[in-house]
Amino acid sequence: MADYLPHTETEVGAMLAFLGLGSAEELFAAVPAALRLAGGLAMAPGEPEPDVLAHMESLADANRAHRLVCFAGAGAYDHEVPPVVRALAGRSEFVTAYTPYQPEVAQGVLQAVFEFQTMAARLAGLPVANASLYDGASALVEAVNLGTTAAGRQTVWVSAGVHPHWRHCLATFSRGSGHQVVEVPLEGGVTRWPDEPGEPVGPGAEPPGVLVVGYPNYLGCLEDLDAARRLADAHGALMVVAADPVAAGILRSPGDAGADVVVGEGQPFGTALGFGGPYLGLFCCTLAQVRRLPGRLVGETVDVQGRRAYVTTLRAREQDIRRERATSNVCTNQTLMAVTAAVQLGWLGTAGLAEVALRCARGTRYLREAVVAVDGVELLTGDAPVVRELALRTPVPAATVVERMATEGYLAGVALDALTGADGDGSVTADDAAHGLLVAVTERRTRAELDGYVAALDKAVRS
């Protein structure tokens, strides 16, 4: 018997006797006999921990991706996570706590989240950040829910430069919420908004209540946030910016450009690539929208003795109180990743964050200059300025390039059709989707790795 149950057989017998029961089976007398599972679960019996660990290690060893030099991004980045961050974020007091329902014994998590909210808000250039959502996509969906409620209109204009998976999620959830999502295509790597405020996007589209734009967009290009703000104002719409939080270290903050809501994927702040999760949905907004905020919010207050204390606040918005009229259904969020981000941003500090962003931009520039020398490889978005990610066009299908470069030790990037589907979308044509390769360069990539990458790419596109 291998498990984590403390009861001795003697104790079990005594407890059953205390209850006046003759067997454990009698504990389930309320379950109709006809429904009970005869013969137990159709599963293997339990195994000792070391055997299970060996099995899990064999599964881990069956992966190859982690041994490749990572040039893949698309919202999930291979940034430096120092031992100090792993050690602090892995402290079991943070890891094995529940939601801070009893603030007197949860000041650790509450204060760490308060510090996280402060740093996330400063990054976005907005006064409020929530305690986290599941991931970038869920943050976008919640932002659209907030925006349509605030505007009183269901139509949403979404730039095709917003991450394709996030747009897919928005489409999925819009079937329940009833939003009319209109995709605004890209041209030359950036959104081609309608020339005139009144010009419709797509046949019969109503004026938008919400406008969503990426900064930088998922192809790495810098959008004109002022133009987006003017357009939003012309329609009385809210402006949602899906921002890269690392690039925000050197880019103008979306809040300065007038964003009402800023969302993002916070994985780059100390969270492992982890095959896509758990990640960290960033959500920041203006004070005007704070009562529509989804999810938890930590606020500062005092205890009975007047000492500084923290507590989850504006609770009346939330599902356990407001039920079907709640601003969101979110309950469990990604608090541990928010705490991790607070530690990572604490480690980076003012200068470190700017340095990481700058180094990403330098590496991206270096690759961009080197890669155009490869025969047949072009920049998919032409001369458009990019910060930390760039889209290439390869002469052979990008998926083939990725497979070939994996045998050379590189995770070459993300084939665009893996994100958009084979037909492409408003961001790229089907042909560009098949031949488009999205490449990310983080501060961890050395010049030798970049040079090796270019050489391997040269080989991969030739055969």
Are 197 and 235 a contacting pair, CB within 8 Å?
Answer: yes
Give the orientation angle of helix 447-462 with respect to helix 335-371, to 10 degrees.
Answer: 60
Rounded Cα gap, residues 415 and 391, in angstroms: 9
Q: Does residue 47 sit in helix, strand or coil?
A: coil
Among 191, 335, 381, 427, binds another protein (CB under 8 A): 335
CB of 460 to another protein, least distance (A): 13
Q: Does 348 bind another protein (CB under 8 A)?
A: yes
Q: Which two tokens stand for residue 285?
A: 């907004």
Rounded Cα gap, residues 218 and 240, in angstroms: 15
Q: Does 7 bind another protein (CB under 8 A)?
A: yes
Are 207 and 233 a contacting pair, CB within 8 Å?
Answer: no
Contacting another protein within 25-54 (CB under 8 A): 27-32, 34-37, 40-49, 52-53
Q: Does 373 bind another protein (CB under 8 A)?
A: no
Which residue number, 198 or 306, has a Cβ lying nearer to another protein?
306
Which residue number, 183 or 235, has a Cβ lying nearer to another protein?
183
Among 154, 262, 443, 456, binds another protein (CB under 8 A): 443
Q: Does 97 bind another protein (CB under 8 A)?
A: yes
Q: Does residue 102 sit in helix, strand or coil?
A: coil
Rounded Cα gap, residues 408 and 78, in angstroms: 19
Q: Does 431 bind another protein (CB under 8 A)?
A: no
Q: Does 350 bind another protein (CB under 8 A)?
A: yes
Phi and psi dihedrals of 460, rounded to 5?
A: -70, -30
Among 69, 78, 393, 437, binds another protein (CB under 8 A): 78
Among 9, 22, 152, 176, binds another protein (CB under 8 A): 176
Nearest to 191 by CA among 164, 215, 159: 159
Neighbours of 277 (CB within 10 A): 15
Q: Does 163 bind another protein (CB under 8 A)?
A: yes
Contacting another protein within 199-228 (CB under 8 A): 222
- Which helix H or strand E contains 285, and what residues bound it? strand 281-285
Q: Does 58 bind another protein (CB under 8 A)?
A: yes
Could you give the angle at the alpha carbon of 265 between the alpha carbons of 262 and 270, nearest 5°?
125
Among 143, 210, 259, 339, binds another protein (CB under 8 A): 339
Q: Does 403 bind another protein (CB under 8 A)?
A: yes
- Which helix H or strand E contains 62, and what residues bound it? none
Q: Does residue 381 sit in helix, strand or coil?
A: coil
- Residues 253-282: x/- map of binding to another protein (CB under 8 A)? x-----------x------xxxxxxxx---
Among 213, 356, 457, 460, binds another protein (CB under 8 A): 356
Q: Does 3 bind another protein (CB under 8 A)?
A: yes
CB of 71 to another protein, least distance (A): 9
Q: Does 248 bind another protein (CB under 8 A)?
A: yes
Neighbours of 75 (CB within 10 A): 24
Phi and psi dihedrals of 390, rounded to 5?
A: -145, 150
- Residues 113-132: x/- map of binding to another protein (CB under 8 A)? xxx-xxx-xxx---xxx-xx
Which residue number, 50 or 198, has a Cβ lying nearer to another protein?
50
Interacting span for another protein (CB under 8 A) from 12-20, 181-189, 227-235, 375-383 = 12-20
Which residue number, 37 or 199, has a Cβ lying nearer to another protein?
37
- Which helix H or strand E contains 419, and what residues bound it? helix 416-420
The residue type at 260: D
Among 194, 227, 230, 347, binds another protein (CB under 8 A): 347
Are 224 and 252 a contacting pair, CB within 8 Å?
Answer: no
Among 230, 292, 365, 458, binds another protein (CB under 8 A): 365
